[in-house]
Chains A and B, each alone.
Chain A
Amino acid sequence: MEKVLLQRAETPGYTGSLADYEAHGGYQGLVKALREYTPDQLIEVVKKSGLRGRGGAGFPAGMKWGFIPKAPGPKYLCCNADESEPGTFKDRQLIEQDPHQLIEGILIACYAVGIPTAYIYCRGEFAHGARVLIRALDEARAKGYVGRNILGSGANIEVHLHRGAGAYICGEETGLIESLEGKRGQPRLKPPFPAVEGLYRKPTVVNNVETLSNLPHIVLRGAEWFAGIGTPKSTGPRLFSVSGHVRRPGNYELPINVSLRELIFTHAGGMRDGRRLKAVIPGGSSAPVLTDQHLDVTMDFEALAAAGTMGGSGGVIVMDETTCMARVAEIVSRFYAHESCGQCTQCREGTAWLHKILARIERGGGRPGDLETILDACDNMKGKTICVLSDAAAMPIESYLKYFRDEFEQHIRERACPLRGVADF
């Protein structure tokens, strides 16, 4: 497939400056949007394109915009640039290498929904990315793309950069909003959804970096072009971040319904050192694991859901036969225990206990009944909390036990990790 989002970024010599961006057709989508479409028509175009959120939930972007009340009054757009889902590194590339593509997408979204103020909530650890965005915003403001009466259209849109300070939960949209309000990033109970009561209790759109970066292309090339890629329900190209035991890790932009096999073996170069594939996490660490039995699954939202997992953030972590799944479970559970914001008991206690028990099993201190305790804890963590971090912590652990239970039982029986010393792990 011809590249779309990464087309400029991966052109040799492309710097991402405004001059470079304009020389490669940049801001023509914004020009077309302002001149040829009313805001309502633009929302229709995005609905027709089938664009779904690329941050994790896969919610249709046009529908999300449609929930914003039409009545006048303050409204906000938050660009979710808090990329922190383990295994995901695509937004960072989009931000660092083609910042104007994102800014153009933000401006198109703001124009479509009638929003005068946008904040880019940039992950605190992205110091370089934040500098790149600030420079790009200054360039865009100086050239009249951002600010008052944009390109003589009468539209006023201001875009600000806001740096976070290191908390995975701020990628959850209401956690992000709380954080942007200067508070702890603890998610809010929904409803009301942000479209009704978001930032400063005003209607707010929260869209991911990759989602927004698609907009200039959809406006320029049309909804039909975008909808013609992928499947009827999962459309467009998607960035897949591939990491782990593959020969060529990296971001790959492919039709969203590429097969897992093609992604790993054709694009990412296959397995390192001639080893066998054992397990794959297909959509960031919150996604349930798949095995070598699932390689023909396609990566669209529906096919992955049918396979018992999810497309999530597009982070694909590939593991070979030397990988100890109890160790994987220990690392993944440690992450959620660290990142739980602590406000819901099921999540605060559940994530901590999962990690404690899994670490004990991996180190040879597992006890009979531990696996039942883990599954019972997982069951009590799902669907019971303010946000889905708790579910995201439980689902992968359940899946490791579903496909690799023998390995966990062997740890407990032999009071040791059977793979210790096999890999550098």
Chain B
Amino acid sequence: MFSDETIQTFERIVARYPVKRSALIPILHEVQGRLGYLTPEAMVEVARYLGLHPVEVAETASFYDLLNLRPVGKHQIFFCHNLSCTLLGAERILAHVQKTLGIGTGETTPDGLFTLKRMECLASCGTAPVMQVNGEFYENLTEAKVDEILDGLRRRG
């Protein structure tokens, strides 16, 4: 199910380690980058590629917050709800995001555009409140700033 180019990427990753299984999480990042989430078929294929049992892949994958075992929206919003962000109004701004998107945290918009997740400390407390969209930081958030960011993402589709 993986292209030759993808397999070459896997091979470059495996070459960094003396033990093949170490390549598992980096390879799952690659697979997720291509498919959006880790489908059961993809995990079976990764297991075969690394010489692991599919259960070994699933047990590792299910431990980590950033690995998706279910489909997610095109844009993933990670909203920090830890202490420093909450002290500076994160819950108020998160409520605004939920209202604007019409979904709760842990949910995806019906059009499949946005998934919204609560996250623990994102290591950006000096510029709280913060969120990440598709891995990029958005800092010193206000309601107005969030509106602008969400509008921009909607326009991009």
**Is B19 interfacial (CB-CB < 8 Å)?**
yes
Q: Chain A residue with minimal CB distance to B52?
A: A182
Cβ-defined contact, A87 with B122, below 8 A: no
A86 touches B60 (CB 8 A): no
**A74 lies within 8 A of B18 (CB):** yes
Residue pair B82, A182 in contact (C-beta under 8 Å): no
In the complex, A251→B84 CA distance in Å?
14
Of A236-244, A300-308, A350-358, the one touching chain B: A236-244
B-contacting residues, A246-266, CB 8 Å: 249-251
Q: Please tell me if the beta carbons of B136 and A184 are within 8 angstroms of each other in the complex.
A: no
* Chain A residues within an 8 Å CB radius of B64: 124, 164-167, 185
Q: Judging by beta carbons under 8 Å apart, are A424 and B89 in contact?
A: yes
Which B1-56 residues have a C-beta within 8 angstroms of A?
A: 16-19, 21-26, 28-29, 50
* A-contacting residues, B88-123, CB 8 Å: 88-89, 91-92, 119-123
Closest B residue to A126 by CB, please name it.
B123
Q: Which chain B positions have C-beta within 8 A of A339?
A: 120
Residues from chain A with Cβ under 8 Å of B119 in the complex: 125
Known: A165-B29, A167-B64. A425 touches B125 (CB 8 A): no
Give Cα distance in the complex from A183 to B59, angstroms. 8
Q: Which of A164-189 contact B (CB under 8 A)?
A: 164-168, 179-185
For A125, give its contact among B50, B63, B78, B84 (CB under 8 Å): B78
Q: How close is B91's CB to chain A, nearest CB, in angstroms?
A: 7
> What residues of chain B lie closer than 8 Å to A317, measured between beta carbons?
83-84, 87, 125
B152 within 8 A of A: no
How far is A271 from B18 in the complex, measured between Cα atoms in Å? 52
**Are A163 and B25 also in contact (CB < 8 A) when A128-B136, A250-B126, A251-B126 are?**
yes
Are A243 and B128 closer than 8 Å at their CB atoms? yes
User: In this complex, what residue of B is CB-closest to A180?
Assistant: B22
> What is the CB-to-nearest-CB distance from B115 to chain A, in angstroms, rounded to a whole number?
14
Residues of chain B contacted by A98 (CB below 8 angstroms): none
From A74, A160, A244, give the contact of B84 (CB < 8 A): A244
Docked complex Cα distance between A328 and B65 (Å) = 23
Interface stretch, picked from A27-35, A88-96, A101-109, is A88-96
Q: How far is the CA of A424 from the CA of B89 in the complex (A)?
A: 6
* A403 lies within 8 A of chain B by Cβ: no
* A381 → B minimal CB distance (Å): 19
Which residue of the partner chain, among B81, B87, B121, B135, contacts A128 with CB atoms under 8 Å? B135
A84 to B121, CA, bound (A): 6
Q: What residues of A have a CB within 8 angstroms of the CB of B78 in the complex?
A: 125
Is A335's CB under 8 angstroms from B66's CB? no
Pick the contact of B126: A164, A167, A241, A285 (CB < 8 A): A241
Chain B residues with CB below 8 A from A181, complex form: 19, 21-22
Which residues of chain A have C-beta atoms less than 8 A from B127's C-beta?
A: 249
Determine how close the nearest CB of chain A comes to the CB of B124; give it in whole angstroms. Answer: 6
Give Cα A281–Cα B19 distance, bound, in whole angstroms: 41
Given contacts A162-B26, A164-B64, contact A88 B123 (CB under 8 A): yes
A288 CB to nearest B CB, Å? 14
Q: Is the CB of A182 within 8 A of B24?
A: yes
Residue of B86, B119, B121 most packed against chain A (CB within 10 A): B121
Shortest distance in angstroms between A88's beta carbon and chain B's nearest beta carbon?
Answer: 6
Most buried by A among B24, B84, B132: B84
- Asked whether A127 lies within 8 Å of B135 as measured between CB atoms, the reply is yes
Q: Is A409 interfacial (CB 8 A cutoff)?
A: no
- Which among A86, A124, A323, A327 is the interface contact of B66 at CB below 8 angstroms? A124
Chain A residues close to B by CB (< 8 Å): 74, 83-89, 91-92, 123-128, 160, 162-168, 179-185, 200, 241-245, 249-251, 281, 285, 315, 317, 319, 323, 327-328, 331-332, 335, 338-339, 341, 424-425
> Shortest 5 CB-CB distances between A and B: which pairs?
A166-B65, A182-B24, A165-B64, A243-B125, A127-B135
CB pairs A–B below 8 angstroms (16 shown): A86-B120, A124-B66, A125-B66, A125-B78, A127-B135, A160-B16, A162-B22, A165-B66, A165-B67, A179-B25, A183-B21, A251-B126, A281-B83, A323-B87, A327-B86, A425-B91
Chain B contacts to A: CB under 8 angstroms: 16-19, 21-26, 28-29, 50, 59-60, 63-67, 78, 81-84, 86-89, 91-92, 119-128, 132, 135-137
Please name 12 further chain A to chain B contacts, defined as beta carbons within 8 Å, in addition to the given A125-B66, A167-B64, sorted by A numbering.
A83-B123, A84-B121, A123-B123, A125-B135, A127-B135, A128-B135, A182-B21, A185-B64, A200-B18, A335-B120, A335-B121, A341-B63
